[in-house]
Amino acid sequence: MIIKILRNVFRFLFLVAIQVLVLNHIQWSGYFNPYVYILFILMLPIETPRWLLLVLALLIGLTIDMFGNTSGMHAAASVFVAFARPGILRLIAPRDGYEVETSLTPQVMGFKWFITYISILVMLHHLVYFYVEVFRFSEFFITLLKAILNSAITVIIILLGQYLFGRSTKRHERLIG
């Protein structure tokens, strides 16, 4: 239990640092700005209580807002993703359901499941974020294009990070057994 908490605290700090120190300074043509900090919300254990999921999403969103001076836009998008996550998990659940303490990684859940999972939630995050940022429908299609492009870039970065830094299940099983 303590190891899980420490792992998630480290993930929180690492993703906030990457987002604030590196990714917030990447803006190509004003269209691309990947937001990989939402991986923290996506990687929380399935058995995380809904209230805690919402509180943690608010906390990471407010932290990013504080460093980015974005007035609660990240907090709103993060809380929306945390709210939608249980429904999306039920929607794309494997036939047998999820096992207790299942790790939501491509190595455990499979590539197709993982890409579906992160693509849906990243797209929802970006739609909420960019429409709250613009806060008008006169730029509907430009904002939609911006959300789609940023979602694609964010998903690619998340996938690269998962395969470069994620633990291999086979290697982990060899070490244990």
Q: What pLDDT was estimated at residue 174?
A: 36
Question: Token pair for residue 10?
Answer: 């480290």
CA pair distance 149, 24, nearest whole angstrom: 16
Q: What pLDDT was estimated at residue 168?
A: 57
Question: Token pair for residue 152?
Answer: 């694609």
Cα 62 to Cα 68, 93, 163, 177: the distances in Å are 10, 30, 28, 41
Q: What pLDDT was estimated at residue 149?
A: 93
Q: What pLDDT was estimated at residue 176?
A: 38
Q: What is the pTM of this model?
A: 0.87
Q: What pLDDT was estimated at residue 172?
A: 43
Q: Mean pLDDT of successive 10-residue segments in the chain (177 residues)?
A: 87 92 77 88 91 96 92 95 94 82 82 94 96 89 92 94 72 39
Residues whose CB is less than 8 angstroms from the CB of residue 149 and which lie 6 or more positions away in sequence, other chains included: 31, 32
Q: What pLDDT was estimated at residue 2?
A: 85
The domains of the chain are located at: 44-176
